[in-house]
Amino acid sequence: MSQRTCLSVILAAGEGTRMKSALPKVLHQIAGLPMVAHVVRAAEAAGASSQALVIGYGADEMRKAAAKFAPKAETFVQEKRLGTAHAVLAAREAISRGYDDVLVMFGDTPLIDADALMAARFRLAEGAAVVVIGFRPPNPTGYGRLIEKGGKLTAIREEKDCSAEERKIGFCNAGMMAVAGAHALKLLDAVGNKNAKGEYYLTDIVEIARAQGLDVVATEASFESALGINNRIDLAQAEAVWQARRRHEAMLSGVTLIAPETVYFSHDTEIGADTIVEPNVWFGPGVKIAGGAKIHAFSHIEGATIASNCDVGPFARLRPGADLKQKSKVGNFCEVKQAVIEEGAKVNHLTYIGDARVGARANIGAGTITCNYDGYSKFFTDIGEGAFIGSNSSLVAPITIGSGGYIASGSVITESVPDQALAFGRARQKTIPGKGKELRERLASAAAAKKKAAGADH
């Protein structure tokens, strides 16, 4: 198989009106990645070294998105939507280059797996001209049936055209195909549009190929792999399937998920063995977690790197650029953004650390804020090794707290602090003996007078 060249033609021109969205359907996301990008990845994993995206609705938006998830893919515009065969022929230029195998896929089937595509390619390598990928839905009603005889596919029969006996067939058309490159254009060009809708149907190449004496066979994918997305309900179902697969994979690789169904991964989440993830944790794109970390409940993590044996949460938020080194801790109700938390440092609770470095073994007290933004620009805070930042402190950037520096609780620090220095930045406390009692009596009297006046009004 490694010596056979392969092109994937991915049909992604539809508007997807049932999504009720201005966004092209195939750009709606599964696990933080456009669904068509999942299809591209599956094709690549199955050995398709070249990609042809057939686009239409939202073409400019599609090109912009494709530049990120498939930078080497060619895009071809289907100006008029005249059926699936017509869509495939929009990529005629790519098909004509003479690939051994041509995979025809749909941008709205994000769960298709590489194994199903490889199985179809193997049948091409064995001599088949057309391989139709089928599946067995729990309820086949509405699907075209795959009619087989003697191990060969004889027809794809739409349900309305099926006999009573054929309607009992549970093996249905998933829409995806693998076609021998040597026959692809000849078969596609032979497709006509003499039907009620006047469209060119890809499924017609089955009978065309058989009429030319070519072998046509079917392979089987799982129902989940063939799931197509038509509306937001389907989108949610596909997300659930993808997440279930990823959780299963994570646990088999040595990750403990205490309540798996409550943990949500992104398409690129990397998580090492012996990591423990408590319930209700969300991983956005760009998260890398080394082994032995503990992620406590209700944490939200995106674009962050977490080294081994770190402790995060509960209720922590790590935003893009958060970089936790070994054995560091970010505790409950803390937010970290674009900041390095060095080895053994602790950011325990109710704290915001942004555009900063917290040195090794430093301790950040509750309620500390790095004041990194003046309304126009961001500034950096550097906290040295072993520094102690007292609770309820505000560090106004740009500023440096030296190694071993000590910031008294309740301070507003606007100037850099040298190594080993103690800094106060708060108003001097004043205590007046007996004044508390006098103040309470005055306030109580005022409150009673107000209550009496309100009663007189009634």
Given a cut of 70, whether residue 210 has pLDDT beyond it is yes
Q: Which helix (H) or strand (E) holds 44?
A: helix 35-45
The residues that are catalytic are 349
Residue 196, pLDDT score: 78
Structure-model confidence comparison of residues 340 and 375, the more confident one? 340
Residue 391, in any domain of the structure: yes
Tokens at residue 389, please? 């930042």
Asked if residue 94 and residue 181 are part of one domain, the reply reads yes
Residue 227, in any domain of the structure: no
Contact 104/185 with Cβ under 8 angstroms? no
Distance CA 84, CA 101 (A): 18
Last residue of a domain, one of 169, 204, 220: 220
Asked if residue 276 and residue 177 are part of one domain, the reply reads no
Given a cut of 70, whether residue 355 has pLDDT beyond it is yes
Convert the pLDDT of each residue in 68-102 to its tens digit: 999 999 999 998 889 999 999 999 999 999 999 99
- Host domain of residue 20: 6-220
- % residues pLDDT > 90 (the chain): 85
Residue 444, in any domain of the structure: no
Residue 431, pLDDT score: 84
Contact 315/300 with Cβ under 8 angstroms? no
Asked if residue 311 and residue 178 are part of one domain, the reply reads no
The separation between CA 90 and the C-alpha centre of its own chain, rounded to angstroms, equals 30
Question: Which long-range contacts does 363-368 make (Cβ < 8 Å, 24+ apart)?
Answer: 363/387, 363/388, 363/389, 364/389, 365/389, 365/390, 365/391, 365/392, 365/393, 365/409, 366/391, 366/392, 367/391, 367/392, 367/393, 368/392, 368/393, 368/394, 368/395
Parallel, antiparallel, or unpaired for β 270-271 and 152-157? unpaired
Convert the pLDDT of each residue in 23-35 to its tens digit: 999 999 999 999 9
Residue 182, in any domain of the structure: yes
Residue 411, pLDDT score: 95
pLDDT classification of 121: cutoffs 50, 70, 90: very high
Q: What is the CATH number of the domain that holds 286?
A: 2.160.10.10
Tokens at residue 101, please? 């195998």
Residue 452, in any domain of the structure: no
Convert the pLDDT of each residue in 381-427 to its tens digit: 999 999 999 999 999 999 999 999 999 999 999 999 999 999 998 88
Asked if residue 271 and residue 171 are part of one domain, the reply reads no
User: Nearest CA to 62 among 39, 91, 89, 36?
Assistant: 36
Asked if residue 196 and residue 317 are part of one domain, the reply reads no
Asked if residue 384 and residue 286 are part of one domain, the reply reads yes
Asked if residue 272 and residue 409 are part of one domain, the reply reads yes
Residue 435, in any domain of the structure: no
What does pTM read for this prediction? 0.89
Q: What is the CATH number of the domain that holds 31?
A: 3.90.550.10
Asked if residue 214 and residue 251 are part of one domain, the reply reads no
Convert the pLDDT of each residue in 267-324 to its tens digit: 999 999 999 999 999 999 999 999 999 999 999 999 999 999 999 999 999 999 999 9
Asked if residue 350 and residue 391 are part of one domain, the reply reads yes
Q: In the chain, how many domains are there?
A: 2
Mean pLDDT of the chain: 94
Asked if residue 253 and residue 206 are part of one domain, the reply reads no
Distance CA 347, CA 341 (A): 8
Residue 334, in any domain of the structure: yes
Asked if residue 163 and residue 19 are part of one domain, the reply reads yes
Asked if residue 212 and residue 250 are part of one domain, the reply reads no
Distance CA 161, CA 245 (A): 37
Question: Which long-range contacts does 189-196 make (Cβ < 8 Å, 24+ apart)?
Answer: 189/89, 191/85, 193/82, 193/83
In angstroms, what CA-CA distances link 271 with 17, 76, 246, 266, 342? 37, 37, 11, 11, 20
Residue 458, in any domain of the structure: no
Distance CA 261, CA 300 (A): 16
Distance CA 398, CA 414 (A): 8
